Structure 1
Amino acid sequence: MFNSKHLMFIIAGLTIVSVKTYPAVFTRLAGRDTWLAVAVAMLLILVYISYLIWVCRKKNCYSMAHIYRYTLGPVLGNAMLSLFMLSVLLHLLESAAVESSAMHEQFLLNIPPTAFMAVLMTVGLYIATLGYQAVITTTIIHIAGIATSGMGLFILVAKYKNYDYIFPIMADGVTGDFAQAVLKLTGVYGSIAIILPFLSRVSDKANILKYTVLGTLFVAQNQVVSMIGTIATFSLPWLNAMFYPKLLQTQLVSHFDFMEAGELFVMYQIVGGWLMKYILCFFAAIILVRLLGKPKEYFFWVLSGIIFFAAKYLANNIFMMFDALDYFAYISIVNLIVIPVIIYTIFLFKDSCAIPKRDNSVCRR
């Protein structure tokens, strides 16, 4: 069983790395005000996830599978669970493709993306299949390491920032591009919904809402500070021309004309961050697949193979991959935000639940 405090680390592992890796996708829309778009999107996500957990607490039921089936019936409920599962698989695809592309494009051009992909997916599959103790231990270690690395990097690049680049603030008001940036950011941060399959396995459910809010606020401040730092380092024309600006930002670090190790910090954040997200998403996929049926022993290896070839296809063409990331964001909005809100709202007005044992929930009258 998980502890409610573990949710803070799980939320960080699911939501931190994406926008940090490819912020230019959003700065091309919102410009110097992207940090404000991040703040608005994180506020929406905080309200969203707090509402879902409030519904669970109100109904005293934390089983996602039961909520879907009880609200929609077994057939449609399983169909909606399958759509949720689809978004989890897309986040697995994102993790494998973006991490391998970033490492190949910015650091080791002579090593093909498939090499990075194979290592990440093999390690991720191994840890995810070991069970919740291995998953949460790995997540806590990596979050602690990434937080420490982030603070060190913040200090090292401070002298290279020019905060004049973030002014004037909202000079053009709320534009269509700004609203689109908020929408896409909300979709990317919608990966926070992947904690829903974990909730029935949390031992002290009374504190779930508290630590979910704390975890979301931690991510929010991290993302806003990171986005401000990225914009303050590069002028917008340069920033918008980069695929992975964070990886270039660290190359500015130099001390005594020979010490240049800024890349080590961000390499750890990128590799560790995407590995962490892959493990958590794969573990969520294991939970969902077992709720939908009884998979064969080799099922998850076959699933990994499909993800590998799909990620290889995307990572080999960086322009196509970034186009795909737009679609991923919009799919996440529907599958991870809109549909769960509708289902949980209907469930809120349903009668008290009577749960079948197969859903493995904690749902009491």
Structure 2
Amino acid sequence: MDKLNFKHLFFIICATAIPALKTYPQIFMREAGKDSWICTIIAGIIIIIYFNYICKVCVKNNSFSLYEIYTSVFGKIIGNILFIFFLLTLFLSLFGSASLETNVVHTNLFIESPNWYIALFIVLPGLYVMIKGKNAIMLVLIANMTISIINGTNLYMLTYPFKEYNRLFPIFENGVNIKFLMGIIKALGLYSAVYTVMPYLGEIKEKEKIRRCSTFSLIFVAQMIVISTNGILTTFDVERANAIIYPKLIQTQLISYFGFIASGEFYVIFQVLTGWFAKYMATFLAIFLILKEFNIKRMWNVKVLPYTISGVIYIGVLCITNDLLNLFKYINFYSYMCLINFFIIPVIIFIIFDFKSRRKVPKAQC
């Protein structure tokens, strides 16, 4: 499998971070209310600093194997346990990606089509692309995220006249309370899905450009999320926005221009589908890159593992999407799992790893 270019990192970061925060912002909007856009700003700044530090540690020590970093910090037993939790969270991302995409299509396009039928059009194409290898996956990521970003830009311009920015005021009406802090925590949990990118860093040729590219990419992602959240809050009253399952879809129904451009629902549905499929494929490949650490690379050649994982994902999707309330409970649970395994634990691990590596340098010089 060929090495990746550092420019690919932009599309991988966008694919892992954007879909969740744009599709179901109610996760943090129900906590922070009209101050949710401020939560996304704070969470975005934290995640930029966090990921920049992790990349700095990896580049400085020329160490890009997560398995080696985890086990060197906590030893074989605890390191393996934490690494398995990281891998399980990646699987939760796969379940969530396929489930949300299935539910969006079922809820908004083909209500009479059963979930098991719609899920086939996600799992089977994903399996086909996965079998074709890394180059095919990167082509899908680049094409899907480009389309998604263009659609998002068009939607911002088309919906601009329907936004009332006075709905954002007063700011901090209830002060900085526990709900506002919970909004930041939940937004941070969804943002931290960007940690899915870590297995890709070892595949990139220009290691010295990783920090610069990742910082630029996360700044781009953060401004998109802030604008998206701001757009929902200025289009709807916050209570109304929290009561809608997918507010972006309802927001675009207001669009009407020149008598023939009516309802931008197609834009946002296409954006959601391309974004979630890109996240699905990015997470799928990340799992394979992780499994290489356990010497399961041979399964890639005989195509056993892609079929097995796809089958498990398909069964999981059917279980999750049967009840919409269960789906959103799962998403809420997923945000906490991401916060723990993609943010809190990695921060602790990389701080200790950085401290240990600094202590080794003077000894080596002596």
Query: Do both share a fold (TM > 0.5)?
Result: yes
1:254, distance to aligned residue in structure 2 (A)? 1.9
CA distance in 2, matches of 1:155, 1:117: 32
List aligned pairs for 1:243-258, cutoff 5 A.
243-258=245-260
List aligned pairs for 1:96-107, cutoff 5 A.
96-107=98-109
Contact kept, 8 Å, 2:129 with 2:136, in 1: the verdict is yes
Is 1:333 the counterpart of 2:339? The answer is: yes
Match of 2:289 in 1: 287
SS at match of 1:349: helix
1:64, distance to aligned residue in structure 2 (A)? 1.6
Between 25-34 and 217-226, report the one with greater CA deviation.
25-34
Amino acid corresponding to residue 148 of structure 2 in structure 1: I
Instruction: From the superposition, tell whether residues 242 and 33 of structure 1 become closer, same or farther in structure 2 (CA, over 3 Å).
Output: same
Deviating above 6 A after TM superposition, structure 1's stretches of 4 or more consecutive aligned residues are none
Q: Quick check: which one's helix share is greater?
A: 2
Match of 2:31 in 1: 29
CA distance in 2, matches of 1:40, 1:352: 30
Contact kept, 8 Å, 1:103 with 1:116, in 2: the verdict is yes
Is 1:311 the counterpart of 2:311? The answer is: no
Instruction: From the superposition, tell whether residues 132 and 299 of structure 1 become closer, same or farther in structure 2 (CA, over 3 Å).
Output: closer
1:54, distance to aligned residue in structure 2 (A)? 1.1
CA distance in 2, matches of 1:353, 1:85: 30
List aligned pairs for 1:79-98, cutoff 5 A.
79-98=81-100
List aligned pairs for 1:221-260, cutoff 5 A.
221-260=223-262
Aligned residues between the structures = 354
Contact kept, 8 Å, 1:59 with 1:352, in 2: the verdict is no
Question: Of 295, 301, 304, which aligns to 2:307?
Answer: 301
1:256, distance to aligned residue in structure 2 (A)? 3.9
SS at match of 2:64: coil
CA distance in 2, matches of 1:159, 1:30: 25
CA distance in 2, matches of 1:277, 1:184: 19
Contact kept, 8 Å, 1:31 with 1:236, in 2: the verdict is yes
CA distance in 2, matches of 1:163, 1:107: 31
Question: Of 51, 54, 58, which aligns to 1:52?
Answer: 54
Is 1:14 the counterpart of 2:13? The answer is: no
1:261, distance to aligned residue in structure 2 (A)? 4.5
Contact kept, 8 Å, 1:78 with 1:292, in 2: the verdict is no
1:210, distance to aligned residue in structure 2 (A)? 0.2
1:131, distance to aligned residue in structure 2 (A)? 2.4
Amino acid corresponding to residue 217 of structure 1 in structure 2: I
Match of 1:120 in 2: 122
CA distance in 2, matches of 1:23, 1:41: 13
Structure 2 stretches lacking a partner, 5+ long: 361-366
CA distance in 1, matches of 2:177, 2:108: 33
Amino acid corresponding to residue 350 of structure 1 in structure 2: K
CA distance in 1, matches of 2:125, 2:70: 32
Instruction: From the superposition, tell whether residues 214 and 17 of structure 1 become closer, same or farther in structure 2 (CA, over 3 Å).
Output: same
Amino acid corresponding to residue 262 of structure 2 in structure 1: E
Aligned-residue Cα RMSD (Å) equals: 1.8
List aligned pairs for 1:143-222, cutoff 5 A.
143-222=145-224
Amino acid corresponding to residue 174 of structure 1 in structure 2: V
**TM-score, scaled relative to structure 2:** 0.92
1:193, distance to aligned residue in structure 2 (A)? 0.4
CA deviation string 1:237-270 (max 9, x = no partner)? 2111111011111111123445325111111111
Is 1:347 the counterpart of 2:353? The answer is: yes
CA distance in 2, matches of 1:353, 1:314: 48
Is 1:38 the counterpart of 2:44? The answer is: no
Amino acid corresponding to residue 341 of structure 1 in structure 2: V
1:286, distance to aligned residue in structure 2 (A)? 0.9
Amino acid corresponding to residue 320 of structure 2 in structure 1: L
Match of 2:71 in 1: 69
SS at match of 1:157: helix
CA distance in 2, matches of 1:212, 1:129: 28
CA distance in 1, matches of 2:359, 2:253: 56
1:181, distance to aligned residue in structure 2 (A)? 1.0
SS at match of 1:8: helix
Between 18-27 and 219-228, report the one with greater CA deviation.
18-27
Match of 1:363 in 2: none
Match of 1:361 in 2: none
Amino acid corresponding to residue 44 of structure 1 in structure 2: I
Structure 1 stretches lacking a partner, 5+ long: 355-365
CA deviation string 1:273-308 (max 9, x = no partner)? 000000000000111122124264423312221221
Instruction: From the superposition, tell whether residues 351 and 161 of structure 1 become closer, same or farther in structure 2 (CA, over 3 Å).
Output: closer
SS at match of 2:219: helix
1:136, distance to aligned residue in structure 2 (A)? 1.8
CA distance in 1, matches of 2:12, 2:155: 23
SS at match of 1:299: helix
